[in-house]
Amino acid sequence: MGRGQKVITITLWSVLIAAMVGVVVGKLLIPRPSNAPEILYPGAEFTLTDQDNRPLSSKDLGGRPYVAAFIFTTCGDICPRMTGRMVELQPKLPAAVQLVSFSVNPEHDTPAVLKQYAKDWKADESRWHFLTGPSDRIYDAAAGMKIAAKPAEGTNPIIHSERLILVDGDGNVRGTYLSTDDEAMKKLLADAQAVAKEAKGSKAALAGGAR
């Protein structure tokens, strides 16, 4: 390798290292809202299908916080209350926050069924995703979120948690909230607003570090 090539190689490596350091430092210096909830644990990784029959994965949601629920369309008790809570949250949440409803009865809840369910609940489908897919993937997602969920067995019905889950832009669970508790729902909204500000600050810091 000639002297000129060595100089070019060293320069390119220097630029790359400086950029990497900038990203790391940027993350460390991200201003975090004082009221932002702590990270509880990493959220689930998943690849499923949405109500428009398109694939959607946890990676696709990267950088965007979201509120998740595990429901199914033929449920006559818990699920309508949970979806109703999501409807209430929809106009109040920051625009950056998505909503994700996982069906725990994927054999029945096809994309077409979920599409009609979304319409019936007047969901803003630009930010609210209804997911289905192989049963094992759905229940793996519930386990990854550390949420109770169990498919129907014999005469035993589907069992699933009544909690809504707040996941940040990095895929970490920041809180779980009992959907039947009004105070918990107020806390969810406040936490989602704080996490959205945190995500916005993170993007700004990373953009600055990339310069």
Token pair of 8, please?
Answer: 């070019």
Residue 41 pLDDT exceeds 80? yes
Nearest Cα to 78, choosing from 38, 105, 39? 105
Q: What is the pLDDT of residues 65-104, one digit of tens each?
A: 999 999 999 998 899 999 999 999 999 999 999 999 999 9
Which of 19-23, 44-48, 174-178, 188-192 is predicted with the least confidence, judged by mean pLDDT? Answer: 19-23
Q: What is the pLDDT of residues 135-163, one digit of tens each?
A: 999 999 999 999 999 999 989 999 999 99
Domains recognised in the chain with CATH numbers? 41-198 (3.40.30.10)
DSSP letter assigned to residue 5: H
In this prediction the pTM is: 0.81
List of residues 6+ apart from 64 with CB closer than 8 A: 96, 97, 98, 169, 199
Q: How far is CA 23 from CA 50, 65, 128, 156, in A?
A: 33, 20, 31, 51
Nearest Cα to 169, choosing from 137, 142, 122, 201? 201
